[in-house]
Amino acid sequence: MKGFNTKAVHAGQEPEKLTGAVIPPIYQTSTYAQQAPAKTKGYDYTRANNPNFERLETALAALEEGKCAVVFSSGLGAALAVLNLLKAGDHVVAGHDLYGGTYRLFTQWGMKFGLSFDFVDGAQAQNFAKTLRPATKLIWVETPTNPLLAVTDIKAVCRAARLKKILTVVDNTFATPYFQKPLELGADISLHSTTKYIGGHSDVVGGAVICNDKKLAEGLRFGRMALGINPSPFDCWLTSRGLKTLGLRMEQHQKNARALVSFLKKHPKTKKVCYPGFGGMISAEFKLSVVQTKKLISSLKVFTLAESLGGVESLVCHPATMTHASVPPAERARRGLSDALVRFSCGIEAPEDLTADVGSALDSIGQP
Ligand SMILES: *Cc1c(COP(=O)(O)O)cnc(C)c1O
């Protein structure tokens, strides 16, 4: 199997042996019968492992061109398992334009347990290398960044890290393996909130890491079991179901985003559009006050006002008060995350309905 869509449909999805069921069943069990004490068929308790975890892991590893994958209860569960590879005193360098929950995990949880963090402008790869210290054990790259959608040169960051044996993690949630394969660019770990594009239908929360090193995967799997950040069998089954259409969906997300970008760029009320050139996410600012901007977001009809992204339905959000509310105002200002910024997650609807929706909302809001 070589093609992305072939792998998406078939990897980890072989028919079930017992009955021939084409769609593998949900192993909705917490525990497994043992033939003798500690003699198992490879499974003992679902916090540690379950066939639905493994099927999803096989598919994710195939799509990211990696050897191993480990699935978690959420994207932040996956991030916690990565931090769990470190110990008190270790130092982490991360891009400053991060998912708000990741920033909160680092600063309000990691710091409490003796980790220290530096946040740099990830748009310039050399900023990571410049900030390394002897205690640096991990580099965290989120690209394209959230919500400003800047792109980091993964290869350059990983080259600098490899020389010093520093682990590199790329949060690949926004690009997905359809557009970007961090392991091929030299990263040690590709991380996902599978809640977003991988699941793709806004009906399940999950996370995953993909890597090439079996020992590293074992360490992450230990974290899942020891910290209790395992997903449920049903959630993995749903994610496996969603993942099959990832390639088809990403094409339409991108087509819709490109249509909205060209519409916005021509619109007289647009101040700034952030779009990395690929994918389904757009951020924009308008020649409107913050109050008017919030009114604009609330008056959209096809775009639903909600946190999250990557589902088949279009969503819009106000990062300053929603996804990034946990980032202090001064820190938001430092990053260039304005209170007037609007983030669009373009779904897979007809593109003309998305542009018409934004167009009529803009028409209904007066001049600032
Ligand atoms: C949503 C998100 C996360 C966190 O994932 P959850 O599944 O919500 O825990 C991490 N990184 C990025 C880029 C995200 O969008």
What is the bridge-based pairing of β-strands 207-211 and 68-72? antiparallel
- Spell out the SS3 assignment of 42-83: CCCECCCCCHHHHHHHHHHHHHCCCCEEEEECCHHHHHHHHH
pLDDT in tens, 87-110: 999 999 999 888 989 999 999 999
Check pocket membership of 326 for ligand 1, CB cut-off 6 A.
Answer: no
Specify the pLDDT at position 101: 93
For CA atoms 216, 69, 281, 295, the dihedral sign is negative
Measure Cα distances from 256 to 133, 200, 368 in Å.
43, 15, 28
Write out the two tokens for 90: 């270790």
**How many whole angstroms from 145 Cα to the centroid of ligand 1?**
12
Is residue 367's pLDDT more than 90? no
Residue 368's pLDDT band, with cuts at 50, 70 and 90, is low
From 27, 103, 137, 171, the catalytic residue: 171
Reply yes or no on whether 47 is catalytic: yes
**How many whole angstroms from 207 Cα to the centroid of ligand 1?**
8
Share of the chain above pLDDT 70, in %: 99
Reply yes or no on whether 271 is catalytic: no
From 181, 196, 221, 249, the catalytic residue: 196
Mean pLDDT of 319-325: 89
Nearest ligand 1 atom to alpha carbon 79: 10
**How many whole angstroms from 220 Cα to the centroid of ligand 1?**
18
Q: How far is residue 139's CA from residue 187's CA, in Å, rounded to a whole number?
A: 10
Nearest ligand 1 atom to alpha carbon 78: 9
Specify the pLDDT at position 185: 98
Check pocket membership of 347 for ligand 1, CB cut-off 6 A.
Answer: no
Direct distance between the N- and C-terminal alpha carbons of the chain, in angstroms, rounded to an integer:
55
